[in-house]
A and B are shown apart, each in its own frame.
Chain A
Amino acid sequence: MSTEVLVFDILAVVAVIAALGVILARNPVHSAVALIVTFINLAAIFVMLHAEFLAAVQLLVYTGAVTVLIVFVIFLVKVDDLPEFYGGNPVQRIFALLIGLALLGEVAAAILTRSAIGASDIWTAEAIADAGGNAEVIGQVLYSEYVLAIQITAVLLLVGTVAALVLARPASATLPDRVKRTGLISLAHPRGADREVAAALPAGLEASRRGETSGVRFDDRGVILVDNAEAFTDQTAWGGDRLEGDD
């Protein structure tokens, strides 16, 4: 048994034991720590597979970002009375374990009897070294063959960020459904400045600030809310040129 195989075996066994720890630990924080161990072992295995760049990305993205995010969420959600497993019935658990092992045996049989191996590509270790290393070669491949996919991934990450902002928004920021939101929502100047601008707006707003219902009103964040489209038709959305001209 060569040293390479021995090192791989150690890494793989530790990774699998840690993975079992993830799904068996009662405390989610223990699960998260076991997950970090798995990720670090997998990063080492990626290095063995001559995927140095991916090993670095694995450490940065998974152990660095995703796990920290998970631990933060564990902090933020209610820790006591956390649910554990389905079904207290031991027969059910043994049955689940057997099904899992059967599935593993099935896949292992498929892997061990695998015979078709595709033709070798050009990126041998020497070719990669000549081209300047693993990261350079991945960059060349990504930005030549997969340019469109890279750009779609960028859009996906942007959409994911926006989705996370919407999902994790506090409940107080959620407005009643019947209120149509439009008008002055400015990120550029501090809260309260909107009211000064709004002082220049027509009488409908003033009426609403005095408590009279005209379809236009303020909420406590300085955002103008309108109940119907007619109430706001002659306003520019950002309180733009026309307002400054009035001054």
Chain B
Amino acid sequence: MEELTATHFLLLSAALFIIGMMGVLTRRNVIVIFMSVELMINGVNVALIGFAWEQNSMVGQSFALFVIAVAAAESIVGLGIIMALQRRIDTIDVADVRQLRE
């Protein structure tokens, strides 16, 4: 690996995505789960921009921009849900959120 190649970026992307996924699966605090989702989104962005760089393309960068915009909308709604959760059931522990099951 003398030269910088897309492989570097893809490995970083995979690492970030899987770290984020483990965070989503193992944490109980909704806020930390939310941050883990942001990590996964950023991992995907690294892959998109890495591919765009490899192929001298602008499509990957455009898609990454859309991903960032959608992630911003998602974060607004997600944090709104966290606030609503806190207000309604007085906790942000996902283990305690089971209204749909009961």
Give the residue among A20, A48, A51 with the most B Cβ atoms within 10 A: A51
Query: Which residues of A does B touch, CB under 8 Å?
Result: 1-2, 4-5, 8, 12, 15-16, 19-20, 22-23, 28, 31-32, 35, 38-39, 42, 45-46, 48-51, 53-54, 57-58, 61-62, 65-66, 69-70, 73-74, 76-78, 82-86, 93, 96-97, 100, 103-104, 107-108, 111-112, 114, 117-124, 127, 134, 137-138, 141-142, 145-146, 149, 153, 156-157, 159-161, 163-168, 170-171
Instruction: Contact check, B64 vs A51: say whether CB atoms are below 8 A apart.
Output: yes
CB distance from B50 to the nearest CB of A (A): 6
CA distance A100 to B40 in the complex (A): 14
Cβ 8 A contact of B83, one of A28, A65, A73, A137: A73
Q: Given contacts A31-B32, A51-B64, A168-B84, is CB(A45)–CB(B22) below 8 Å?
A: no
Instruction: Contact check, A124 vs B69: say whether CB atoms are below 8 A apart.
Output: no
**Sample of 13 more A-B contacts, CB < 8 Å, known A66-B71, A83-B28, A107-B17:** A2-B4, A19-B19, A22-B32, A32-B35, A51-B61, A77-B92, A100-B19, A112-B7, A114-B10, A118-B55, A123-B56, A138-B61, A141-B61
How many chain B residues touch A (Cβ–Cβ < 8 Å)? Answer: 75
Cβ 8 A contact of A160, one of B7, B32, B77: B77
Instruction: Contact check, B25 vs A49: say whether CB atoms are below 8 A apart.
Output: no
CA distance A174 to B74 in the complex (A): 24
Secondary structure at the B interface, as helix, strand, loop or mixed, is helix
CB distance from B28 to the nearest CB of A (A): 4
Q: Given contacts A2-B2, A111-B14, is CB(A100)–CB(B42) below 8 Å?
A: no
Cβ 8 A contact of A104, one of B18, B45, B46, B71: B18
CA distance A149 to B77 in the complex (A): 20
Residues of B close to A153: CB separation below 8 A:
66, 69-70
Residues of A close to B22: CB separation below 8 A:
23, 96-97, 100
Q: Given contacts A50-B53, A146-B62, is CB(A65)–CB(B72) below 8 Å?
A: yes
Q: Given contacts A85-B28, A121-B55, A123-B58, is CB(A51)–CB(B49) below 8 Å?
A: yes
Interface string of B57-69 (1 = CB under 8 A from A): 1110110111011
Instruction: Contact check, B86 vs A28: say whether CB atoms are below 8 A apart.
Output: no
10 shortest interchain CB distances as A-B pairs:
A23-B23, A167-B80, A160-B73, A121-B57, A83-B93, A83-B28, A164-B80, A49-B53, A107-B14, A111-B10
